Amino acid sequence: MASPQTKQKKQIATVLRQVFGMEELRDGQRLVIESVLAGQDTLAVMPTGSGKSLCYQLPACLLDGVTVVVSPLISLMKDQAEKLEEAGIASAAQMNSSLSRSDEQAALEAIERADTDIIFCTPERLVTAEFLALLKQSRIALVVIDEAHCISQWGHDFRPAYLEIGAALDALGKPPLLALTATATDEVIADIRSQLGRSRMAVVNTGIYRPNLHYRVKQVTNPDEKYAAALQLVRDSEGVGIIYSATVKAAEEVHQLLLDAGESVTLYHGKLKASERSENQNLFMSGERRVMVATNAFGMGIDKSDTRFVIHLQVPANLEAYYQESGRAGRDGLDAECTLLYYHADKRLQQYFLIKHYPSADELRAVYDAAVALGQRSFTETELKSLVEQMPASQLKICLKMLKDGKLLKRDRKLAYALAPADPKAEQFERMAQVYVDKHERDRDGLEQIVSYAQSGYCRWKLLLDYFGDSPPGFEHCCRCDNCLSPPSIQESPPPLEQITPAPSPELALDLDRADGYTQTPALPPTAAIHSISPSPAEFR
C-alpha cells in the first residue's frame, strides 16, 4: 500500500505532466503545493518569474471544490483566466467591472451551477454582500490572495479594499488560504498573518536572490544630465526595457526625448485614457515598441519575460518597491541590467508623496460618534457616509477598519457593522491613531533606506538581501553589480541600512513650487488614500 504522501506525489506528477505538460516542479513550487494540498494555510514569498501561478493552478486541478483567486488587477486576471481556458487546464470565471452585463450574468450563472474550477475576482468584488452570498453556495476548496503584500499596511502598494478581505474570509467560514507575494519583510509577513486572522499560516520563502539581475546606480547632478544618461543607457542596451518615472511629467519628457532621438518607445501612466494605456501596453508586450516609459501604474502582473533592462529615473518610495519594479527585468533567467539614476534632489519628491493624511484620533471619534448617532442595531458604510460627508470614502474605510480592530465596532456575516458594547475613552482613540503615526515613521525610514542604498559603496545585492533579511551566511559580493565590479574603496561588511542612514530631517521644508512642477502623477488631495499614489483605485475595478 502506498502512503498518502507517495500517492499525493504521484498525483502531482501526473497532473503536472498531463495537464501542464511539465516534467518537474521547482523546489519552491513543490513546497507550496504540498503545503496547500495538506490543507495548511500558506504564505508563499517567491520572486517574480518563479512560477507562482502554478502553485494554485495545480492544486485547483486536484482539490474538490472551487478555487477563488483574489487578484488586484483586471488585466492580470483576464490574462490568467484566458490562458487557463486556452490551455484547457481549467474552466475559469472572472468577476470584475470590465465585464458587460451579459458576460457578468453568464459568469454568475456558471458560478451558481458550480460549473467553474477557478473564480477570479477583485478584492472590491469579493467583499460585496451579494457576491459573498453567491460564493457561500459553492464548495470553496481554496482562496488565493495574489500580490498579498497589498494587504499589509506596511506593503508599498497598500489598498484599502484589502482591509476587508479578512472579514470576508470569516464570512465564508474560513476556507483554506494561499497568499502569494514576490517580496515581504518580516514585518509585512506578520501583518499579512494578522490582517487575515491566520496567525499559524505557514510561510514558504524561496528567497529573493536573482543573480542574473545586475544592479547599478548612476549618480547625476542635475535633471538634464539625468535625461542624457537615460538616453545613453537606452542606446547602449540591447533588447526591450522599461523606464520608470515617479511622475507623469518626467515620464512624458523622457518619452518625447527618446522619440526625438529616433528610439522605438511608448508611454504608460494613469493620466492617459484607458484605451490609450491598453494600446500602448499591447505595443510593448507584442514587441512593436522596444522601450516602455511608465509610472508605477505599469507593471503589476505584467509578464514580459525577455525584458533586458529596467531604468529608474528617480528613487521609488522604498527598497521593496524598487526590488519589485526592477525585478520585472530578466524573468527569463537571462542577464538583465537594473539601473537607478540617482539625483539627490529627487528625494524631496518622494518626501512630498509621503505627506498624506492619516486618520487622527478626532476623526476616529467623529466616525464613532456618527455610528452612535445612527441609533441602529446594525448599519452599512453607505448609511454612515451620509453623516460624515466631508470625509473621503477611502478614509472612512480605514477609520471603520481601525475602529473594528480597536473592538469598538463589530462586523456580522453580511459585512454590516454594529457597535460593540463599550464606552471608549479619549486615550483609546489616541492609541488607534498612533498606528498610523508609526506607519508614517516607517515610510520615512523606507525612503532613507533606499537613499542609503543609492549612496552606498557596498554590493547592491548584499544591501537588498540584508534589507529583506534574506542574506545567506557568508554572502558578501554578487560580483556583478557596479560596486562589485569597480569598488569605490575597500570596505568591509555593510552595517545595517539604518546605521548608515542620516537622521531623518526634522520637519520637511517643502518647496511647493518645486513640488508642483514635479507632481503631475497623482492628483494629491491632502486626504489622498494611504499609499494609493497611482494608479487611482478606479483603474483597478
Q: How far is the CB of 257 from Zn ion (least distance, A)?
A: 30
Coil, strand or helix: which one is 205?
Answer: strand
Please report, in angstroms and rounded to a whole number, the separation of the first and last CA atoms in the chain.
Answer: 51
Nearer to Zn ion, 242 or 484 (CB): 484
| Other Cβ atoms within 10 Å of 221 Cβ, number | 10
Helix (H, G, I), strand (E, B) or coil at 6: helix
Considering only 292-300, 317-325, 429-437, 474-482, which stretch makes contact with Zn ion by CB under 5 A? 474-482
Beta strands in 365-519 (DSSP E): 409-411, 417-419
Return the number of the residue (142 or 484) whose C-beta is nearest Zn ion.
484
Which of 454, 481, 529, 530 binds Zn ion (CB under 5 A)? It is 481
C-alpha dihedral sign at 393, 397, 398, 400 = positive
Q: How far is the CB of 342 from Zn ion (least distance, A)?
A: 17
CB of 395 to Zn ion, least distance (A): 43
Spatial CB neighbours of 212, under 8 Å, sequence gap ≥ 6: 330, 333, 334, 335, 336
459 binds Zn ion (CB under 5 A): yes
Element holding 143 (H helix, E strand): strand 140-145
- Is 304 within 8 Å of 330 (Cβ atoms)? no
Least distance between Zn ion and beta carbon 254 (Å)? 27
> How distant, in Å, are the alpha carbons of 19, 68, 156, 223 from that of 77?
20, 12, 21, 38
Compute the least distance from the CB of residue 221 to Zn ion, in Å. Answer: 24
Pick 381 or 470: Cβ nearer Zn ion: 470
Reduced to 3 DSSP states, what percent helix, strand and coil does the chain have, rounded to the nearest 5?
45, 15, 40
Q: Count residues contacting Zn ion (CB under 5 A)?
A: 5
Which residue number, 20 or 475, has a Cβ lying nearer to Zn ion? 475
Q: Which of residues 373-432 bind Zn ion (CB under 5 A)?
A: none
Residue 340 CB, shortest distance to Zn ion, in Å, is 14
Per CB under 5 A, which region of 256-264, 304-312, 356-364, 473-481 contacts Zn ion? 473-481
Minimum CB–partner distance for residue 337 and Zn ion (Å): 13
Q: Between 204 and 464, whose beta carbon lies closer to Zn ion?
A: 464
Q: Cβ of residue 477: shortest distance to Zn ion, in angstroms?
A: 5
The residue with cell 511622475 is 247
Find the binding residues for Zn ion in span 482-541 (CB under 5 A).
Answer: 484
Rounded Cα distance, 226 and 243, in Å:
12
Least distance (Å) between residue 459 CB and Zn ion: 3
Pick 120 or 458: Cβ nearer Zn ion: 458
Alpha carbons 387 and 282: distance in angstroms, whole number: 45
Three-class secondary structure of residue 423 per DSSP: coil
Q: Quick one: CA torsion of 305, 309, 314, 317, rounded to 10 degrees?
A: 30
Q: Is residue 478 part of the contact set for Zn ion (CB under 5 A)?
A: yes
Q: Which is nearer to Zn ion, 282 or 491 (CB)?
A: 491
Stretch that binds Zn ion, among 16-24, 66-74, 192-200, 460-468 (CB under 5 A): 460-468
Q: Which residue's CB is nearer to Zn ion, number 336 or number 481?
A: 481
Nearer to Zn ion, 20 or 209 (CB): 209
Residues that bind Zn ion (CB under 5 A): 459, 461, 478, 481, 484
